Chains A and B, each alone.
Chain A
Amino acid sequence: ELKVEQNPLFLSMQEGKNYTIYCNYSTTSDRLYWYRQDPGKSLESLFVLLSNGAVKQEGRLMASLDTKARLSTLHITAAVHDLSATYFCAGVPSGSARQLTFGSGTQLTVLP
Chain B
Amino acid sequence: KAGVTQTPRYLIKTRGQQVTLSCSPISGHRSVSWYQQTPGQGLQFLFEYFSETQRNKGNFPGRFSGRQFSNSRSEMNVSTLELGDSALYLCASSLFSGAQGEQFFGPGTRLTVL
Q: Which residues of A contact B (CB under 8 A)?
A: 30-31, 33, 35, 41-45, 48, 88, 90, 92, 94-105
Contacts and interface: CB of A to CB of B under 8 A. Distances in A.
B37 to A, nearest CB: 9
Nearest to B91: A42
A105 B40 CA distance: 12
Contacts of B50: 97-98
A99 B48 contact: yes
B66 interface: no
B106 A99 contact: no
A96 B94 CA distance: 14
A98 B56 contact: yes
Contacts of B35: 100
Contacts of B33: 98-100
Chain B interface, DSSP helix/strand/loop, else mixed: strand
A102 B43 contact: yes
Given A42-B90, A98-B94, 18 more contacts: A31-B99, A42-B107, A43-B105, A45-B104, A88-B43, A97-B48, A97-B55, A97-B98, A98-B31, A98-B48, A98-B56, A98-B103, A99-B45, A99-B48, A100-B33, A100-B43, A100-B45, A105-B43
A101 B104 contact: no
B28 interface: no
Contacts of A90: 43
Interface string B22-54: 000000000101010000001111001010000
Interface in B51-66: 55-56, 58
